């Protein structure tokens, strides 16, 4: 068993997190992750109203007695969701772990901390991680350029970003972006993180509430099957490559503005991808880790395999390298 400051902080067996994912972070997946000994997170804004979030939390509790949390992502919008009401629903439900992401979370962090809630803040740069640490969050999730969703605008991959953040961040930190197996967990630990956060990999599990055809598409894809949309708008998002995302990229190169692509990138179309299995119906998030995903296991199988493989790499492969060098030196 691999214990870190992060596992101690949130009370889970394994240093693995299923991050917030729009339309995906629902009770059945989160409970399965929790029952496997990792940390699952319900995505608050997947639920249409704060009342629906309260019901989803209760539904998750019916399926697990292990720790789980809620993701609350704060993004600029023409008509913002009632964030304060979602926050209150989280507090009143007795949730003890929250993942925040997005812009200016101070108001929410302050309120969560008043109620003894552990806050993990997801960010894409060292400077934002340090800002969140000053804000009083309990842990950082540092998101490398390989990730699905919003990788920021610095284009810094995890191999650089993780140790750069570890050099400066004092609170526990987990690594996001490009993780899907035991090798990734060992690498993250070696680079200074205390766990890993996975999104795309957990999408491709039996309990994931998305269509089987989308899971099979992820397995079939390799690491090249993503697109970066909204680059020209300084709001980059990594999504699966399909007819829609390829068209959006081409339109941006021709000078298109958001209004020109609004209909193509509508969230309702992306939601339908997961419901119907038509991977070309809309925009949907997926990371470069698709190239490392070759099966559709249960969450329990996935988590146990990652931990088992990580322990074997540390004890046998790396241990063998160092013990061999020691033997040669002794001779």
Q: How many CB atoms lie within 10 A of CB 43?
A: 23
pLDDT score of 325: 57
pLDDT over 90 percentage in the chain: 95
pLDDT reading at 133 higher than 60: yes
Residue at 312 is within a domain: no
E strand spans, 48-206:
68-74, 97-102, 118-123, 139-143, 173-176, 196-198
Residue at 257 is within a domain: no
- The pLDDT tens digits of the residues spanning 136-169 come to 999 999 999 999 999 999 999 999 999 999 999 9
Q: Which of 64, 58, 9, 73 lies closest to 31, judged by CA?
A: 64
Q: Which residue has the tokens 């690594």?
A: 175
Written as six digits, the tokens of 23 are 């339309």
Q: How confident is the model at residue 330 (pLDDT cuts 50, 70, 90)?
A: low
Phi then psi for residue 296, to 5 deg, are -130, 80
Adjacent-strand bridge partners of 118:
97
How far apart are alpha carbons 101 and 149 in whole angstroms? 12
| Burial per residue of 165-180, b for 16 or more beta-carbon CB atoms within 10 angstroms, e otherwise | bbeebebbbbbbbbbb
Q: What is the domain range of residue 92?
A: 5-207
For the chain, what is the domain count? 1
| pTM exceeds 0.85 | yes
Adjacent-strand bridge partners of 99:
71, 120
Beta carbons of 238 and 151 less than 8 angstroms apart: yes
4 Cβ contact partners less than 8 Å away, ≥ 6 residues apart = 15, 172, 189, 194, 195
Residue at 307 is within a domain: no
Written as six digits, the tokens of 316 are 């046998």
Q: For 116, left (φ over 0), alpha (ψ -120 to 50), or beta?
A: left
Helix axes 50-61, 83-92, angle to 10 degrees: 30
Residue at 274 is within a domain: no
Q: How confident is the model at residue 125 (pLDDT cuts 50, 70, 90)?
A: very high
How far apart are alpha carbons 70 and 19 in whole angstroms? 9
How far apart are alpha carbons 116 and 183 in whole angstroms? 34
Q: Which residue has the tokens 């419901």?
A: 275
How far apart are alpha carbons 13 and 220 in whole angstroms? 31
- The pLDDT tens digits of the residues spanning 194-236 come to 999 999 999 999 999 999 999 999 999 999 999 999 999 999 9
Written as six digits, the tokens of 73 are 């992502």
Beta carbons of 238 and 148 less than 8 angstroms apart: yes
Q: How many CB atoms lie within 10 A of CB 230?
A: 18
pLDDT score of 77: 72
- The pLDDT tens digits of the residues spanning 56-84 come to 999 999 999 999 999 999 987 768 899 99
Residue at 249 is within a domain: no
pLDDT reading at 241 higher than 70: yes
Average pLDDT, the chain: 96
Exposure on the CB side of residue 96, measured as CA atoms within 13 A: 8
Residue at 11 is within a domain: yes
Residue at 19 is within a domain: yes
Q: Which of 260, 262, 227, 222 lies closest to 246, judged by CA?
A: 227
Beta carbons of 173 and 5 less than 8 angstroms apart: no
CATH number at residue 24: 3.20.20.70
Residue at 122 is within a domain: yes
Phi then psi for residue 254, to 5 deg, are -90, 5
């Amino acid at each position: 068993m691999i214990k870190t400051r992060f596992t101690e902080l949130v009370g889970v067996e394994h240093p693995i997190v299923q991050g917030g994912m729009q339309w995906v972070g629902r009770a059945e997946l989160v409970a399965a992750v929790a029952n496997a000994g990792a940390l699952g997170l319900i995505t608050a804004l997947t639920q249409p109203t704060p009342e629906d979030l309260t019901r989803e939390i209760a539904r998750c509790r019916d399926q697990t007695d292990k720790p789980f949390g809620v993701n609350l992502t704060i993004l600029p919008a023409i008509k913002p969701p009632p964030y304060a009401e979602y926050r209150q629903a989280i507090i009143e439900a007795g949730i003890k772990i929250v993942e925040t992401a997005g812009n200016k979370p101070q108001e929410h962090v302050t309120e969560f901390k008043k109620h003894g809630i552990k806050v993990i803040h997801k960010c894409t740069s060292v400077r934002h991680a340090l800002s969140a640490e000053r804000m009083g969050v309990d842990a950082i999730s540092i998101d490398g350029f390989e990730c699905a969703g919003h990788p920021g605008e610095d284009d810094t991959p995890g191999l650089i970003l993780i140790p750069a953040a570890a050099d400066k961040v004092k609170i526990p930190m987990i690594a996001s972006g490009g993780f899907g197996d035991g090798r990734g967990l060992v690498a993250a630990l070696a680079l200074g993180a205390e766990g890993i956060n996975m999104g795309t990999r957990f999408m491709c599990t039996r309990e994931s509430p998305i269509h089987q055809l989308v899971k099979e598409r992820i397995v079939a894809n390799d690491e090249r099957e993503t697109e970066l949309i909204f680059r020209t708008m300084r709001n980059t998002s990594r999504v699966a490559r399909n007819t829609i995302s390829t068209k959006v990229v081409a339109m941006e190169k021709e000078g298109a503005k958001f209004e020109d692509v609004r209909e193509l990138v509508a969230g309702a179309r992306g939601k339908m991808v997961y419901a119907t299995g038509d991977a070309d119906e809309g925009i949907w998030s997926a990371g470069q880790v698709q190239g490392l995903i070759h099966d559709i296991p249960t969450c329990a199988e996935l988590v146990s395999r990652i931990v088992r493989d990580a322990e074997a790499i540390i004890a046998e492969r790396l241990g063998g390298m160092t013990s061999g060098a020691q033997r040669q030196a002794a001779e």
